[in-house]
Amino acid sequence: MNLDKERSIWLTGASSGIGLALAEELLKAGHRLALTARTVGPLEALDERYPHQVLLAPGDITDNEQVMEIGERIAQVWGSLDTVILNAGTCEYVNCKHFDAALVERVVRTNLLASSYCVQEALPLLRLGRDPHLVAVCSSVTFLPLTRAEAYGASKAGLRYLFQALRIDLAHEGIDVTIVSPGFVDTPLTANNDFPMPMRWPADKAARHIAERLLRLKRPLEIAFPTPFIFALRLLALLPTRLQLALTRRMVRSPDMEKDIP
């Protein structure tokens, strides 16, 4: 496998946070990127700075028709893809005093269903690419159930299972699958969090960590960070369920103190 050559990469959620920082890292490394997000301004700024490396492919990936149009645009201009990084996501916290099923639907649509729309368009292009690689940005929340994360955690757990199963079924085609599981990272979403975020990383540090590992000759099955935080979550997940409950219920906050992410 030779990853020294320029790769054709489709990156979703590229307008802010980890996605924007990761786009910078990959463009600086000389790769060409098809950039997707609903907010076009940051994508156009990258296009101005890297005019021969960027393919603007904006759109709302929760809309299957728009995703199909994005796939057609990439196919027409490039003809194939080497790497697909599905990074777009959202977070809303549940208040069980006023449980809102519509909130759960919104989060699942963005974090899970939208990713499946992208996979549908990505796989035919990856099959035409070089050393194909499919990547999903999941979350460390899937290692342990946490308070108010019912919608976010369920959507990311579904995403994890989807890509773990895809890893099995795509192995015979030579399509590698990597799951990225960050801890807390400084992004516009986490800026609204009103609770402690231990071992939080800046987005540029997270992006460098991800990019370095994605471009290695031996591709990782999972990229999870920061290591001490992930280790603590995995250790807690091994505890008996009742002990887990006793510990995690201490994190529950009074509804009067809650501030949901808009």
pLDDT, one tens digit per residue, over 38-94 is: 999 999 999 999 999 999 999 999 999 999 999 999 999 999 999 999 999 998 999
> CA of 259: how far to CAs of 90, 94, 139, 200, in Å?
16, 10, 21, 20
Q: What does the alpha-carbon distance between residue 172 and residue 212 come to, in Å, rounded to a whole number? A: 26
Highest mean pLDDT among 151-165, 197-211, 233-247: 151-165
Residues in the chain: 262
pLDDT computed for residue 78 by the predictor:
98
Q: Is the Cβ–Cβ distance between 159 and 177 less than 8 Å?
A: no
- The superfamily (CATH) of domain 8-257 is NAD(P)-binding Rossmann-like Domain (3.40.50.720)
Averaged pLDDT for residues 183-210: 82
- Predicted TM-score (pTM) of the model is 0.91
Percent of the chain residues topping a pLDDT of 90: 78
Average pLDDT, the chain: 91
Residue 244, pLDDT above cutoff 80? yes
**Tokens linked to 72:** 């057609």
Residue 194, pLDDT above cutoff 80? no
pLDDT, one tens digit per residue, over 85-124 is: 999 999 899 988 999 999 999 999 999 999 999 999 999 9
Percent of the chain residues topping a pLDDT of 70: 93
Sequence-distant (6+) residues with CB within 8 A of 157 are 142
pLDDT computed for residue 191 by the predictor:
63
Residue 130, pLDDT above cutoff 60? yes
Q: Is the Cβ–Cβ distance between 46 and 27 less than 8 Å?
A: yes
Sequence-distant (6+) residues with CB within 8 A of 78 are 8, 32, 34, 55, 125
